[in-house]
Structures are given as C-alpha cells and as structure tokens.
Amino acid sequence: MLQTVSKVTQVLDLFSLENPEWSVGEAARTLGYPKSSVSELMASLANRRLLCRIGKGRYRLGWRIFELSQTLLQTAEFRVEARRVMEDMVGQWREIMHLAVLDGVQAVYVEKLQPTPAVKILVSWAGARLPAHCSGVGKVLLAYSPWENISANLRHMGMPKLTPHTITDLDELERELERIRERGYGYDIEEVSIGLRCVAAPIRDCEGNVIAAISFSVPAFRFKEREEEFTEGILKAAQRISAALPKHARSLPRELTTLHR
C-alpha cells in the first residue's frame, strides 16, 4: 500500500455535502498531518484538477473527478439500458426507483429516478452509500456474492441498526439471503427507515452473474396494499433490463479483498 495514495484518498474523502470546502489548516488538523505536508498535497491535487483551488489555501473537488466518473458510467453498459426501462416504469408507476451496484459491503446507488412531483426521498442522490445488509437492493446484491467474503467484511465493519427491523445478526442475515436466492427477489421491511418498504430484484449479465439491482421504494401503507403488483413489476423490469443487455455486457466486478489499515 503506497502511503501517498492513502493520503490522497484521505484528502479526497474530506469533501462531502456538509463540508464541500476545506482550507489547508482545517484539513491538516482533521487528518493530523503537518499543514506544510497537506499544503503540498492539496496543491499537487489541484494542479492535476482533482481539486479546485478557490482562493488562498481553500479547495473544492475538481472537475476531473466528474469526467472520470462519466467515463466510469459510460463504460458500465448495464446502466444505459437500465435507465431506459426505469424511466418507463417511473412514468407509469409514479414511484421512486433506484439502481445500485455492490462495492465491498456497501451498495452504491447509481441511479435514482422519481416521478416528477417529488414525494419523499430515501437516498437523496445517486452516488450515495448505504450499508448493504439493511436495504433491499443491498441484500439482493449480497445474496449473490460469496458469503465468506461478505461475512468477513461485515464482521470487520459491523452491522449498524438503522431501525428496529434492521438485521444485525450474521446468521439471520445468512438465512435472509438464502430466502432471497430461493425467491429471486428481496424485501426491505422498514429496515432502513420506518414507514418505508421496498422490493428489489437482481440484474444479470448474459452469463447469469448478478451485476446490479433495482428497487421500488414505497411508503409502507401503499406497499402493503399492492405488494404483489410491485413485486411482479420489479421482477419484470429486472428481466427486461437483463434481457436487453448487449451480448458482451460485463459487470464491473468488485474487489473482494479487505481494505488495509
């Protein structure tokens, strides 16, 4: 593990929705490095446009980040088709939909579509992260990943309890994932947020590997009324997406080793 790479990511990770701007001093204090080092580091990153300098010693994320992410998205073939179908669906069903991929034990939300008059938001923007063990898409993604890896990672990272319904026991999770594999889809019964239920289904590439998952997120009362319809709907959508994938479509397989440090 190269130390500088580690420091680069530590700096990049500082920037968030709450703190989109950082000065050299703040960053140095937060990270616990001497400010001279941080100054050089940030200046270098800005020179390469990974950061953007706004006034003396103040920085934001730079546009090169955005470009890189677009390259990433454009080369994730499954996303294009998924989006087309999901747009259809949202227009018709008027419910929020998400598309997510698995990265470690975190579900990365790649798309978030909602009917035009915004209702309520679960994950407020595509690109957010949620522990995979509690959400619908997350559990579906976990269900089709090697259990040894998952369990090792979860043991290491812990399983935060977001609501009373969140699964926090490894054995129980294993059984839940087994159920998901049997049925071919998964529920989230207010495990992320009270009053919000969800049904999720896997998207498969041409070889049958699960590469992503989509979901409906619906207020609990409405979900109960029309559970079967939502389930059928999401399954059909996932199948349409899977079937429409180009022959050579490949997932962007996730690294399964554990993180250093």
Partner DNA sequence: TCTTGCGTTCGAATATGCCGAACGCAAGAC
Partner DNA sequence: GTCTTGCGTTCGGCATATTCGAACGCAAGA
List interacting residues with a second copy (CB under 8 A): 1-2, 4-6, 8-9, 12, 15-17, 20, 40-41, 43-50, 52-55, 60-75, 101, 103-104, 108, 110, 125-129, 250, 252-255, 257, 259-260
Q: Is the dihedral of CA 13, 17, 18, 20 positive or negative?
A: positive
Closest distance to DNA from the beta carbon of 67 (Å) = 24
Residue 110 or 192: the one with the smaller Cβ distance to a second copy is: 110
Q: Look at residue 31 and give the partner it binds from a second copy, DNA, none, a contact being a CB closer than 5 to 8 Å depending on partner kind.
A: none
Site for DNA in 2-31 (CB under 7 A): 2-4, 7, 23-26, 28
What single string gives the DSSP state of each residue in 116-165?
SS----SS-STT-EEETTTSHHHHHHHHTS-HHHHHHHHHHH-----STT
Q: Look at residue 226 and give the partner it binds from a second copy, DNA, none, a contact being a CB closer than 5 to 8 Å depending on partner kind.
A: none
Establish if 43 lies at the interface with DNA (CB under 7 A). Answer: yes
Query: Stretches 52-60, 84-92, 140-148, 190-198: which one binds DNA (CB under 7 A)?
Result: 52-60
Dihedral angle over CA of 139, 140, 142, 144, nearest 10: 160
* Whole-number Å distance between alpha carbons of 106 and 94: 27
Residue 135's nearest CA partner among 191, 211, 210, 216 is 191
User: Please, what is the Cα angle at 58 between 56 and 60, to 5 degrees?
Assistant: 140
Instruction: Name the residues that contact DNA, by CB under 7 A.
Output: 2-4, 7, 23-26, 28, 33-37, 39-43, 56-58
